[in-house]
A and B are shown apart, each in its own frame.
Chain A
Amino acid sequence: MGKIQTMLQANKLAQGLLLAAFILVTAGAVYLIDRSVTAFLLMLASLLLLYYTSFSNGMKWSIAVFLLVIVIPFATSGGTSRESYMEVATQCGIYVAMALGLNIVVGFAGLLDMGFIAFFAVGAYTYGIFATGQANNFISGELFPLSGGSFWIFILIGGFIAGIFGILLGLPVLRVKGDYLAIVTLGFGEIIRIIFNNLEKPVNITNGAMGLSSIQPPDLFGFQFTFPHQFYFIVIGILLIVIFAVRRLEHSRLGRSWKAVRENEIAAQSMGIPLIRTKLMAFAIGASFSGMMGVVFAAKQTFIDPTSFTLIESITILVMVVLGGMGSVPGVILGASLVTILNLQVLTEFTSWLNQLSQQGIFEVPNALSPSKMQRFIFGMILILVAVFRPHGLIAARNRKLPPEAVKDPSPPLSKPEVQPD
């Protein structure tokens, strides 16, 4: 086994062949076998396999895009469960983007934000209010709902408004010590929900607990996006942009400032990094990713109400980041995918399987213990276990190592390092 491993590590061609074979088999299985969750999950696992190959970065990205844009949509189009696969994939994409946003706040800047879903809600309501007749309640002229064509601009507007909310929350809070931040953001998440739940008077802005329905679906030159397999492409598009943005930021001046603040605030400040502004940037950028996906979510569901934005959602995203590995972009992507699949597929499948057993009288499972209700327990356990046993997560964050030719200057050094006689 060890021998094969070393051989594989050395041989890129072998890796490529193996990967291609794996993709072919799993994709074929998804295409041919109806409703096979296992095959679908294995097909997604090919992305993880790809991550561990020793191809160049550009190569990995090309293959990943090829898999996401062509192979996966095609393979799932074979059977009757196409939409449910695509729904899972779309949700995965939405959560990955949000988790990457939270990763900027928690992983890079080291600020524990427990109310992250609030920014998602802000994005969702931003689009929801204007893409339904709701805005007519406070803007005269019967201009609303806006057409589905406005969706594309609203992705940016939603991100922007969520970013503003991030700054508004951050301004008072980021002055105080780190541990207060967690509890204040926790409160903030609830507050936003309470406000959306009650802001039907004095002016009806959010329609309260009734929520907003018949939100306009996106529209591109007359083509309407209504099915998950169509939304999938929107989400993948945004997600790729988000991943590129995060990778750029991570190794930029700003990204280093975030990490410096996380590692040692006093030293960071003494190096000329303004603390509040740097933390606010993390808050705002993280929030805006969440806000953008909120817009997509509203358009996809065509209905939103405050129950979609509860504490458990904030926890879910935190679990994704912590499980995957705080500060690690590939880790967070893996964590978010795993938790989403756990939530949407594994828990529900497991529950219905247990129910079947109960009905057949083989094995009595009390309703209270139904796995789909055990989310809090499972997430709580993940948080504790990762914190105690694997604080760096599944894929630990790694520093970028620069090759010598990137740092060595052809011109002579400042002065020769002094060689001390021993």
Chain B
Amino acid sequence: MFSSILQTLPQVLIDGLALGAIYAVVALGYTMVYGILELINFAHGEIFMTGAFVETAVLFIFQGAGWLTDMPAWLSYVLIILIAMLVTGALGVGIERVAYRPLRKAPKLILLISAFGVSFVLQDVIRFIAELKTGNYIISTPQLFDQRYQLPLSSISSWFTDASVKANTLFIFAIAIVLMIGLDIFVNRTKWGGAMRAVAQDRETASLMSINVNKVIVLTFFIGSALGGSTGVLFAQQYGTIDPYIGFILGLKAFTAAVLGGIGNIRGAMFGGIVLGVLEMFASSNLGILTGGNFGAEYKDVFAFMILIIVLIFKPEGIFGKAIKEKV
């Protein structure tokens, strides 16, 4: 049993890291908004999904204009990511303006309900547009990179079988690392990043220190949503097929990643995403082996969810988070 698990382990790790990188970047959006507003932005999963659809739309446009053949693939890829980030960033700002800002003083429950509403509206609007344009809401997106590199691991040790890496997987790693380092520098080294941290600490005091809280909140939504949107592009390129409902379960898991790392904690979210991605990939390829075929890959979402429950029971503040107590 263990030898068969070990044989596929390198492939599981590669795929798990790719999935984990996606979770990590989406988790950043949850964690940033939570840090500032103490709101779980349920619509974030849908913003990610919108990013994936923007990717497909832009790709079709590029294709139609014949630019894809003129431009090197990496350039179109980067361009598409930038466009998707702009669109989803603006979408995030719009959502904040319409559905969250009027409710900033309302009870938490009302805010959460509004967030759910946004999430469902987005799903349907995207479905409508996709169905109108293509006749179907499940869409296959053209691949920019279709190379695959073989890693001849079996020649190193007979413990392993050969693994392969998609060119796109490498691209995911590269983009995810650039985004995460960029965000880390932005938050910790720049003036606006400082303002963000100040608002997250204490909104009242920050506003007394002549920080424009509204601007900071808008900025947070823009950056968080742009990150989510960019991941949508990576996701679409990695897995090829998208539909308007991918954001729901993925958002749930990215949220799990954010909780795992300690919600509100940016580095924690990156860590949580990677851990969750690898664990999920491991479960999806080995659950069947481990349970003698009784429970297979169809339970991988159950597995991810169990992780969320276990973290909430034993370490609700997450691995890197601090326990916060309400002031009495």
Contact = CB atoms under 8 A, between A and B. Distances in A.
Interface of A: 106, 110, 112, 114, 172-173, 175-180, 182-184, 186-188, 190-191, 194-195, 197-198, 201-202, 266, 311, 315, 318, 322, 326, 366-369, 373-377, 379-388, 391
Contacts of B299: 194, 198
A380 B124 contact: yes
Contact of B309 (A173, A194, A373): A173
A194 B117 contact: no
A349 B308 CA distance: 43
A217 B109 CA distance: 40
Nearest to B119: A380
A172 B312 contact: yes
Contact of B121 (A184, A266, A381, A387): A381
B118 A384 contact: yes
Contacts of A178: 108-109
B195 to A, nearest CB: 24
Contacts of B42: 182-183
A3 to B, nearest CB: 38
B242 interface: no
Interface stretch (B62-70, B74-82, B125-133, B161-169): B125-133
A266 B328 CA distance: 8
B184 interface: no
B40 A387 contact: no
Given A112-B112, A112-B113, A318-B116, A191 B301 contact: yes
A3 B17 CA distance: 73
Nearest to B30: A183
B309 A172 contact: yes
Nearest to B128: A368
B14 to A, nearest CB: 26
Contacts of B116: 114, 182, 315, 318, 380, 383
Interface stretch (B99-107, B175-183, B218-226, B232-240): B99-107
A380 B127 CA distance: 14
A97 to B, nearest CB: 22
A373 B259 CA distance: 34
Contacts of A195: 302
Nearest to B39: A179
A184 B114 contact: no
A85 to B, nearest CB: 29
Chain B facing A: main interface SS: helix
Interface residues of B, number: 52
Contacts of A326: 109
B112 A384 contact: no
B320 interface: no
A314 to B, nearest CB: 10
B313 A175 contact: yes
Contact of B252 (A172, A186, A202): A186
Nearest to A311: B248
B284 interface: no
Given A106-B109, A376-B120, A381-B121, A184 B127 contact: no
- In the A-B complex, the 7 residue pairs with the smallest Cβ-Cβ separation, listed nearest first, are A383-B117, A380-B120, A368-B131, A380-B121, A377-B124, A384-B117, A387-B114
Given A318-B116, A366-B132, A387-B114, A194 B39 contact: no
A172 B313 contact: yes
B265 to A, nearest CB: 15
B326 interface: yes
A238 B143 CA distance: 56
9 contacts: A112-B109, A175-B313, A179-B39, A184-B308, A191-B301, A374-B124, A380-B121, A383-B120, A391-B107
Contacts of B117: 379-385, 387
A194 B111 contact: no
Contact of B102 (A182, A187, A388): A388
A183 B137 CA distance: 26
Contacts of B255: 183
B121 A377 contact: yes
B6 interface: no
Interface string B255-295: 10001000000000000000000000000000000000111
B305 interface: yes
B204 interface: no
B24 to A, nearest CB: 18
A391 B114 CA distance: 10
Contacts of B128: 368-369, 374, 377
Nearest to A368: B131
A106 B38 CA distance: 20
Interface string B119-157: 111111101100110000100000000000000000000
B249 interface: yes
A382 B98 CA distance: 14
A319 to B, nearest CB: 9
B298 A194 contact: yes
A394 to B, nearest CB: 15
B110 interface: yes
A187 to B, nearest CB: 5
A110 B121 contact: no
B120 A190 contact: no
**Among the interface residues A186, A188, A195, which one has the most CB atoms of the partner chain B within 10 A?**
A186
B316 interface: yes
A360 B117 CA distance: 35
Contact of B312 (A106, A184, A377, A386): A184
B99 A384 contact: yes
A196 B228 CA distance: 32
Nearest to B314: A172
Contacts of A318: 113, 116
A305 to B, nearest CB: 16
A137 B120 CA distance: 40
Contacts of B114: 383-384, 387-388
Given A175-B313, A377-B124, A391 B112 contact: no
**Among the interface residues A191, A366, A369, A379, which one has the most CB atoms of the partner chain B within 10 A?**
A191
